[in-house]
Amino acid sequence: MDIETKITVRDAMTPNVITAPPNISVAEAAAIMSKKRVGSIIIKDNSGPIGLVTESDIIRKVVAKDLKASEVKVSEIMTKNLITIEPESEIREAAHLMAKNNIRRLPVVKNGVLVGIITSTDIMVVAPELTEILVENARMKENEFLQREEREESIPGVCEICGTYAEYLEEVDGKFVCEDCKRELKGE
């Protein structure tokens, strides 16, 4: 008789979560993350978890904008409206939540109290069969990034071939052309 056991979030989560108050600076948060060797910190106040700050947040929202980390509060850059999960939830539900919301970390909360954190890496370790869900999410994210990058390289203006205005012109053979003319030039 086979008994199927369900892996819960509690089975895979890290119970000792690194937390910080919302009024510390990004520099202080980065120092804590470095010292504790973690990639994120849960931001907590008296009511419980209110945000999450990741290494990526620090790079994109502070470093890339050349802001002084000691002058920016974590509350200004943290992800708010946290998506959380209960410790008794199945690990598959955590993987689906991460994929659906394009996130890699889920605070684990029971009755409003932070009891742990689960990451996509934790899921892959205890349930490698769920890796495909997380990998597919990474592929979709990469495609979105590439499409956004392509759009950002385009510029609005008048097509140098047909003369119509287009929101996105691309340079083809030294001319800025609309999508239709680009396809025509490339023989599509």
Of 9, 180, 178, 185, whose CA–CA distance to 91 is shortest? 9
Would you say residue 163 lies in a domain? yes
Residue 157's pLDDT is what? 73
In a domain? residue 1:
no
Residue 162 marked as a ligand binder: yes
The response to whether 5 counts as a known ligand-binding position is no
pTM above 0.75?
no
Q: Judge whether 133 lies within some domain.
A: yes
Has 181 been labeled as part of a binding site?
Answer: yes
125 annotated as ligand-binding? no
pLDDT surpasses 70 at 105: yes
The span from the CA of 161 to the CA of 152, in Å, is 22
Do 80 and 168 lie in one domain? The reply is no
pLDDT digit string (tens) for 57-92? 999 999 999 999 999 999 999 999 899 999 999 998
